[in-house]
Amino acid sequence: MKKINLENIRKAEIAVGIPSYNEADNISYAATQIDLGLKKFFKDKKSVIINVDSNSSDGTGKVFLAAKTKTPKIYISTAGRTRGKGNGLRLFFSEIKKMGVIAAASIDADIRSLNPEWVKCLLTPLFKSYDYVVPFYIRRKNDATITNHICYPLIYSLFGYDIRQPIGGDFGFSRKLVGYWLNQRWSEDIRRYGIDIFMTVNAIKGGFKIGSVGLGEKVHKPSSPKLKSMFFEVAASFFNFLRENKSLWLKENIKIRKVRLLCDNRSNSQKNKKNNSLLNNCQKFEKIATSNFKDNYDKIINLFSREIVSSLEKNFPDGRLLKIDDSLWAKIVYESIYNYDNNKKRREVLAALESLYFARAASFCRETKGKSDKEAELLVKKQARYFFKERSYLISLFS
């Protein structure tokens, strides 16, 4: 581990962490916006901004330390070739625990829509008895596909929490919750992109008080180049948690709990009229889905029920345009959870699910063609309600 603490900061009440890897082009902006928020809304608190870096090769650390801020800064990097957002945040959690930090937040380094209000929204509830603050963004309909089709419907249906963006990336959290996270088992997937879902499900497991904040539109670097690794790491982190904590969700009856909206900055957000990085997503999903379905066909027919395989074959008549609606998708995900729990070849289970996840994303693109983002959002919520309605199917698999 490498650490640069030019002002020798040892104690703080507030800390904001910026996990990064090769983000020299945006980290100065992130640091200055966070600084403005801390000085405007928390000027009576002793604060620090900490960049937790994955040993970037583009000078991210130098740019961060050179950013003009009134708030003191600390740079911490993982050692050698150790990478991963989760590894960075684990360093951040350990550091702020030693510093006696009361309230903390993590904000991704590539956020381009970040403004001082985000800092206010993420941190203020932590001084009002909340332990975990999750973001609620305005998102484009073909963005956040892992959230929309895996994490949100499962958090909703299995735990009964209506947390719309459980892997949003930008969170606020209390000292008590940080200590709880550090005491959990950290797998390799958690140390990478599986960290966000790890944070959320453990906040639920620990019974911590959770609130939501509206942050407006999230504009950041496109995630599509990283979707494959993101999917495997998020899904493995989540499915391992489900496998190890069945008593939390393997229940006949649960009720949906709305997570209270504590701060709403969405009205101050100017939504970009055009986001070119998302325009080709649907074509990419279609191409990957077709290729992956063929490559993983043997795994699919061996892992899934005859009912699902028959539906897939019926909806894939000409070798393209594999159609998966929300009802079929719910059963696919539920059978995947069961298969993951009962199969030693868990990477094969995830590979089969991944190929169908891209098909579901492509199907959703076709379902929402010509629809507005708001209309598409209603379909995402409808899908989550369908998952909840069909949760008895998952329960029956384990009985």
Tens of pLDDT, residues 186-245: 999 999 999 999 999 999 999 999 999 999 999 988 766 678 889 999 999 999 999 999
pLDDT tier for residue 267 given thresholds of 50, 70 and 90: low
pLDDT tier for residue 278 given thresholds of 50, 70 and 90: low
Q: What percent of the chain is predicted at pLDDT more than 70? A: 94
Structure confidence by residue, pLDDT tens digits, 7-21: 999 999 999 999 999
Contact 43, 116 (CB under 8 A): no
pLDDT value at position 80?
Answer: 84
pLDDT value at position 193?
Answer: 96
How large is the average pLDDT for residues 155-165? 98
Lowest pLDDT segment from 28-32, 81-85, 264-268: 264-268
Domains and CATH numbers, the chain: 2-272 (3.90.550.10), 277-398 (no CATH)
3-state secondary structure 246-295: HHHHCCCCCCCEECCEEEECHHHCCCCCCCHHHCCHHHHHHHHHHHHHHH
Bridge partner residues of 52 (DSSP): 19, 76
Contact 95, 16 (CB under 8 A): no
pTM score, whole prediction: 0.95
Structure confidence by residue, pLDDT tens digits, 315-371: 776 656 678 999 999 999 999 999 999 988 999 999 999 999 999 999 999 999 999
Backbone angle region of 169, left / alpha / beta, with phi > 0 → left and psi within -120 to 50 → alpha: left
